[in-house]
Amino acid sequence: MASEITYAEVKFKNARPAAVAEVPPETKKQEHHPQKYPPWLPWVISLLLFLVCLVLVALLVAPFFRTQHTVLQQKFTECHCILSALQGEEQGWICCPNGWKLFQKSCYYQSTDTMPWTESVQNCTGMGSQLVVINSKEEQAFLHNMLKQAARSINFYIGLHAEEVGQWQWLDQTPFNKTAAFWREKEPSNVEAEKCGVIHTMPEIHNWNDVRCEDHYRICEAAALTLTERPSS
């Protein structure tokens, strides 16, 4: 009996463990191979994410700004801007095309070539501007300082002319104020041959003169482009 018990114990140790349910081969094969997706699906997902980003930019960024469009903006694509206070407490960017100078809310172009009066008027108009109309002493001082940088003594057309001798008027029909003019000493001559107004590169701030409507340089002026923050709703 003892030997049988020992045999039985040995047999038990070497016996095969209790039967374990085995997964059929077909089932194992399915577990090791994940489900396949169409090859075009990642591209579709990427495209949808890109479109969502574009919509978010349009909804979150664009509504915060409004632009005051001007004719000048349609003529030029590259501008320089400064951050400035606009109306009341509102702040925004004031922009001028590259090569133009900013003063207050206007942009000024100082030509490097000469033209007769009529062509000068047309040239400024073609750029979405006009020959400069000077409305204040501050504007005159700005132009005076700008022209002091010229390399030599020359004339620049301004938007001032006379249909009749001595009857000076601005191109934009702004009333001409004789007491706020900046004629050189003993000018204007008020003669038939000199019916166009110029500003001269000279040290004195009173530097206007009447000249023949022949070839001269010119200063064009246009309203600046403004970009302001939209008020929150």
pLDDT digits (tens, 9 = 90+) for 196-223: 999 999 889 999 999 999 999 999 999 9
Domains in the chain with CATH codes: 66-227 (3.10.100.10)
Express as a percent the part of the chain with pLDDT over 90. Answer: 50
Amino acid identity for residue 167 in this structure: Q
Contact status, residue 169 vs residue 176, Cβ threshold 8 Å: yes
Contact status, residue 169 vs residue 159, Cβ threshold 8 Å: no
Nearest to 117 by CA among 50, 53, 194: 194
Chain segment 137-167, per-residue pLDDT in tens: 999 999 999 998 887 889 999 999 999 999 9
What pLDDT, on a 0 to 100 scale, did the predictor assign at position 114?
Answer: 97
Q: Average pLDDT in the 7-34 region?
A: 43
Contact status, residue 220 vs residue 121, Cβ threshold 8 Å: no
Q: Average pLDDT in the 91-102 region?
A: 89
Contact status, residue 159 vs residue 170, Cβ threshold 8 Å: yes
Is 60 exceeded by the pLDDT of residue 225?
yes
Cα–Cα distance for residue pair 186/134, rounded to 1 Å: 20
Q: Whose structure tokens read 């940088």? A: 149
Residue-wise DSSP of 93-135: EEEEETT-EEETTEEEEE-SS-B-HHHHHHHHHHTT-EE----
What pLDDT, on a 0 to 100 scale, did the predictor assign at position 89?
Answer: 57
What pLDDT, on a 0 to 100 scale, did the predictor assign at position 62?
Answer: 38
Task: State how far Cα 149 lies from the chain centre.
Answer: 27
**Tokens found for residue 112:** 């490097």
Nearest to 183 by CA among 215, 120, 140: 140
The whole-chain average pLDDT of the chain stands at 77
Residue scoring higher pLDDT (54 or 179): 179
- SS3 state at 221: strand
Q: How many helices (H) and strands (E) does the chain have?
A: 6, 12
